[in-house]
Structure 1
Amino acid sequence: MFKHLKQDLPASIVVFFVALPLCLGIALASGAPLFSGLIAGIVGGIVVGALSGSAVGVSGPAAGLAAIVLTAIGTLGGYQNFLLAVVLGGAIQLLFGVLKAGIIGYYFPSSVIKGMLTGIGIIIILKQIPHFFGYDADPEGDFAFFQVDGETTFSEILRAFQNISPGATLIALVGLGILILWDRVLSKKHRVFQLVQGPLVAVVLGILFHALTKGNKTLGIAAEHLVNVPIPEDASSFLAQFSFPNFGVIGQPEIWITAFTIALVASLETLLCVEATDKIDPMKRVTPTNRELLAQGAGNMLSGLIGGLPVTQVIVRSSANIQSGGRTKASAIIHGFLLLVSVILIPRLLNMIPLSVLAAVLFLVGYKLAKPSLFRHMYSLGWKQFVPFAATVGGIVFTDLLVGIGLGLGVGIVVILVKSYQNSHFLHILDKSNGVHRVRMTLAEEVTFFNKGAILNELDRLPKNTFLELDVRSTRYLDYDIIEILDDFSFKARDRNIDVLLISDKGSVKNPMSYLEFFNLQQKNTT
């Protein structure tokens, strides 16, 4: 695990700086105590990171669960009651892992996974624009289009342009310039620039800038534009920030409904993230999904027991880990320890980091996920790939993560049905002489009720005095609905003077009286 420590350590620092504001922001957007987001980040890094089979995935509180958490805290009668649902949700996830439900993630098309990554990249950029210009009225973790404060993504951006903070914007531009220079030029010049990552340099400069301009009316950065980590006065005040579940309400149906919802949504988000992370892993490793569900279940149980938010594997931190050169799970685990040490030892130093600098770091992460070249590539693959991809991206940007994925998956299913409808058969005109049309219809390998309309239309369009060769030699599965259509057609064919030659592996039959009996006989002969 520590074989690639020189790559994993700098990557863990980057992930730490990305995770810190997200943990706090998601807790804020969820209506939960801020410290609960940090607990989830620590558990997701250390516990889930150690148990997971993913080499580069990073777990923590997820923006996709914020709306569920916000609603559940109110309906369940308090945060401690909600924590019990988190613990039970983790136990249900363990059951999912035991039942080997991890295979569900493989049923999502590649176009939807790429659309999810691209949509999240665009959302990251859009959501960070207000913070880049020093406008931080909106919670950092509020990733939905319609936000908890009544604004939308774009109205929030317009407000940001009307409330630009000069100091925050200046250091953000400097930080972004450093990041681009580091990524495009310096990292290729010398190994020292690979060891010391650009985001770390940008953050250090941000801290120095705040320290030097503090009190300046023009360039000084106000407290609301800085990271805000809770500062404990002593050990007892630190421990007082932990909460514990109320097991006295375990018999309430609402608790179990919320627990199952958390388990289902968290598992789905994790499996989709695993699929996406494996695709962008430079070493193309495959994460064992059932083990991942077990790890997430254990993490959620522990997080709920000590007052943390639910955790999932999250694409923002995972992609930041990969883009920063992370190679093994050591990166995720170290980032968890960095979160733990930071909230204990250096909360005041962390509270000097400008949010605008962190926004610049996330700009680069978002761009790498949503490069314009990816849109061109998906378009070049044809409409069957591009339409589900575009639907997923649009759904995520204009609604939220789960709705966008559901929309992309729905469009993908429609595309499959359309292609299945079109590819059910091949019709070829063999000859047309002496008033007789010789036509051959070759059925596909699998023909289902989806193909009823297409085949029925072709049969109805056959002119009178046609000799039809119905070739089923390549057909391995023929739905009963199609056999019924052929049976009905056999009666109509006599009235229109249409002869049918049924060609199969076992021979040919002219004008069969019953297609159902014929295919049953064929099945017996094959057996």
Structure 2
Amino acid sequence: MKSDLQYYLSNLRRDLPASIVVFLVALPLCLGIALASGAPLFAGVIAGIVGGIVVAWASGSHLSVSGPAAGLTVIVFNAIETLGSFNAFLLSVVVAGVFQLVLGFLKAGLIGAFFPVSVIKGMLAAIGLILIIKQIPHATGYDTSFDGDESYMQETAESSFFELVDALEGITPGATVVSIIALLILILWETKLFKRFNLLQLIPGPLVAVIWGVAYNSLTLQYAPDWAISQKHLVSLPELGSVANFIDQFRMPDWRYLLNPKTYSIAATLAIIASLETLLSIEAVDKLDPHKRIAPTNRELKAQGLGNIVSGLIGGIPITAVIVRSSANINAGGQTRLSSFFHGVLLLVSVVFFGGFLNQIPLACLAAILLQTGYKLAKPKLFVEFYHKGWNQFLPFAITVIAILATDLLQGICIGMAIGIFFVLKANFHAAMTLTEHGSHYLLRLHKDVSFLNKALLRKYLSAIPNDSELLIDGNKALFIDQDILETIADFLLAAPDRGITVEIQGFNAYCPVPSSGH
């Protein structure tokens, strides 16, 4: 049995190259997600660093990568606007981390199992559509709402839609060219033709898109200034040059908001959605892991809680385990948590010492990356797939999407959950028991759990049994039979002889009070 040190060292030759790939994928995503969240760009990088350096070692997963998640952008954006300042929002991030720690200690790692897949997929599809709506103005260089911050979206989907229309009328040529070519690069990089070249697959598409944007703007500034991208449409990070300057960029939570109820409602929302996204990502990573290792979910919640506490305390946006970077890690050959850790180290080194290069990146490049991310979350194929699964899957999925777009993420999920639970109950209602007929012989079979909700259906089936027939009630497959069901069957047993019905019971004992016979 190898020691932990030997185990990590033996996999270092594969983990180190994988960490470089994850870093190159993560850097533009960290910046882009911060941009979409209405947070300072530096906050996205801090979250990525914490996800790599802190969460990688606290987590029980060897291959998952944590960092800022696209799934939280809408919540973060609205939360910052609701609280009125980013520093106030940081306090909610810290409190959300505490909530996640508590969930971990309460062994709530199975929370993801209680959300129907159709609702989760609907949530992700809605997030994808919102990302597309929010990023098109950045992709076209729309100027109107750049008032010193990196965001411009209003609270409601309606106003977002009108801003999208305005953006299409105020196109900036340079930004549009950069975003269109960047999108083409990202699309081509995933085609079968490009995947044939192993050398090209070692270079992540997002990195090529970023290099294209930087090269385009450098050339146009020199040879065609009218087509160049203005400074306000470039990444704007402080050029640090030292660790001390990096530490000076940290932002502390505004502790004055400790008594504000909104701090805790936002924190609860963050904790629930971040935990759910983490658990779903961990489940997906476990399925992708070539070694089929299973990550402990309760430990993962604690790790994410610790990560969010640290991130919030030093000025980072919320983090979760993220499937895009985790998939990149696995595809690049990562074997242990070292690859995630080193990607965090590379993020730290890049912002400390290479800020000048990062500030040459057009926001249109990041918008292109997020447009592709949004498309992947909301592919038309996904809608078709759920349609073919039937109305009990498609309706919760579609209603969740519409509800989130019409209201907000939390209300939309609640509406989707209500619809999803209705269809689950409806399916279980009909699947709990079946009645089959063969001549004058009837078989009433109880399946899995039979609750009081099925009493009306049971009475319907029992009343359908004709006089002078035989009935077998088979409960061998039932894991649980509610007392109301047992009493309904017992009442039927008492009345059956008067109708000439012979009843046999298998697999359970019905409660049947026997009248006193005087002895």
Q: What is the TM-score when the length of structure 2 is the normalising length?
A: 0.79
Q: Please state whether the residue corresponding to 2:142 is helix, strand or coil.
A: coil
Q: 1:60-105, CA deviations, whole angstroms, 9 ceiling, x for partnerless residues?
A: 263254156426634xxx7666545543443342232233221222
Does the residue aligned with 1:471 lie in a helix, a strand or coil? strand
**Structure 2 CA distance, aligned partners of 1:38 and 1:491?**
72
Shift of residue 156, structure 1, vs aligned partner: 3.4
Q: TM-score, normalised by structure 1?
A: 0.78
Once the two structures are overlaid, the 10-residue window that deviates more, 165-174 or 58-67, is 58-67
| Amino acid in the other structure paired with 1:178 | I
* 8 A contact 1:23–1:41 mirrored in 2: no
* Counterpart pick for 1:346 among 354, 365, 368: 354
Alpha-carbon distance in structure 2 between the residues aligned to 1:209 and 1:120: 30
SS at 2:252 equivalent = coil
CA distance in 1, matches of 2:150, 2:512: 63
CA shift digits 1:379-426 (9 cap, x unpaired): 444444444444444445554444454444433322221122212333
- Structure 1's 411 and 507: CA in aligned 2 closer, same or farther, altered over 3 A? closer
Take 1:168 and 1:219, find their aligned partners in 2: how far apart are those partners? Answer: 8
Distance 2:332 2:508 in 1: 64
Q: CA deviation at 1:13?
A: 0.4
Give the whole-Å Cα distance in 2 for the aligned partners of 1:213 and 1:179: 22
Q: In structure 2, do the counterparts of structure 1 residues 395 and 274 end up closer, same or farther at CA, with 3 Å as the change threshold? A: farther
1:42-61 to structure 2, matched below 5 A, reads 42-54=49-61, 55-60=63-68
Which residue is 1:63 aligned to? 73
Alignment pair present for 1:131 and 2:138: yes
Deviation for aligned residue 1:174: 2.0
Match of 1:434 in 2: none
User: What secondary structure sits across from 2:163 in the alignment?
Assistant: helix
Going from structure 1 to structure 2, the CA distance change for 1:171 and 1:347 (only over 3 Å counts) comes to: same
Alignment partner, residue 108 of structure 1? 115
- Counterpart CA distance in 1 for 2:289 and 2:396 is 23
- Give the match's secondary structure for 2:183: helix
Contact 1:84 1:246 in 2 (8 A): yes
Describe the superposition over 1:217-270 as per-residue Cα deviations: whole angstroms up to 9, x where unpaired: 642212333222244598876544323346688688776666555544433343
State yes or no: 1:310 paired with 2:318.
Answer: yes
After superposition, give the CA deviation of every residue in 1:332-381 in whole Å (9 maximum; x if it has no partner).
43443343333333333222212222233334444444444444444444
Q: Distance in 2 between matches of 1:91 and 1:516?
A: 48
Matched residue, 1:498: 499
1:117/1:276 contact within 8 Å kept = no
Question: Identity of counterpart residues, as a percentage?
Answer: 43
Which stretch of structure 1 is more off in the superposition, 133-142 or 452-461?
A: 133-142
Among 72, 91, 98, the alignment partner of 1:91 is 98
> 1:403–1:25: structure 2 CA closer, same or farther, 3 Å change rule?
same
- The SS at the match of 1:293 is helix
Q: 1:213 aligns with which of 189, 209, 220?
A: 220
1:12 is aligned to 2:23: yes
Equivalent AA in structure 2 for residue 53 of structure 1: G
In 1, distance between residues paired with 2:294 and 2:409? 23
Aligned AA (1:208): A
Aligned partners of 1:79, 1:152: CA distance in 2, in Å? Answer: 22
Does 2:467 match 1:472? no
For the residue of structure 2 that corresponds to 1:171, the secondary structure is: helix
Q: Determine helix, strand or coil for the equivalent of 2:512.
A: helix
Matching of residue 449 in structure 1 with residue 460 in structure 2: no
Cα-to-partner distance string for 1:433-486 (whole Å, 9 max, x where unaligned): xxxx664433334321121222222334455x4535142343643222223434
Counterpart in the other structure of 1:411: 419
CA distance in 2, matches of 1:422, 1:149: 40
CA distance in 1, matches of 2:472, 2:327: 53
Change over 3 Å in CA distance of 1:493–1:321 after alignment to 2: same
Q: Are 1:294 and 2:294 an aligned pair?
A: no
Match of 1:422 in 2: 430
The residue aligned with 2:83 is: 73
Q: Is the 8 A contact 2:100 2:271 kept in 1?
A: yes
5 Å matches for 1:25-40?
A: 25-28=36-39, 35-40=42-47
Q: Distance in 1 between matches of 2:441 and 2:180?
A: 73
Structure 1 unmatched ranges of 5 or more: 432-436, 509-514, 520-527
> Greater shift after overlay, 297-306 or 395-404?
395-404
- Assess, with a 3 A threshold, how the Cα gap between structure 1 residues 348 and 45 changes in structure 2: closer, same or farther: same
The change in CA–CA distance for 1:389 and 1:136 in structure 2 (over 3 A counts) is farther
- The aligned amino acid for 1:48 is V
Structure 2 distance, partners of 1:324, 1:360, is: 23
Q: What's the offset of the Cα at 1:177?
A: 2.5
Rate the CA distance shift 1:133–1:239 in 2: closer, same or farther, 3 A.
Answer: same
CA distance in 1, matches of 2:127, 2:331: 15
Greater Cα offset, 242-251 or 410-419: 242-251
Kindly indicate whether the alpha-carbon contact (under 8 Å) linking 2:491 and 2:512 is maintained by their aligned counterparts in 1.
no
Question: Any idea what SS the aligned residue of 1:183 has?
Answer: coil
Counterpart position of 2:5? none
Q: Which residue of the partner structure matches residue 190 of structure 2? A: 183
Q: Deviations over 1:170-192 (max 9, x none)?
A: 12222222333332256434332
RMSD (CA atoms): 4.0
CA contact (8 A) 2:443 2:474 kept: no
SS at match of 1:174: helix
- Contact 1:203 1:357 (8 Å CA) reproduced: yes
**Distance across 2 between alignment mates of 1:235 and 1:442:** 70
SS of the residue corresponding to residue 109 of structure 2 reads helix
Query: What are the superposed Cα offsets for residues 309-348 of structure 1, whole Å, 9 maximum, x if unpaired?
Result: 3333345655666677766544543443343333333333
Residues 142 and 104 of structure 1, relative CA distance in 2, 3 Å threshold: farther
Is structure 2 residue 173 aligned with structure 1 residue 163? Answer: no
* 1:299 to partner: Cα distance: 1.4
Letter in 1 for 2:453: F
Contact 1:18 1:317 in 2 (8 A): no
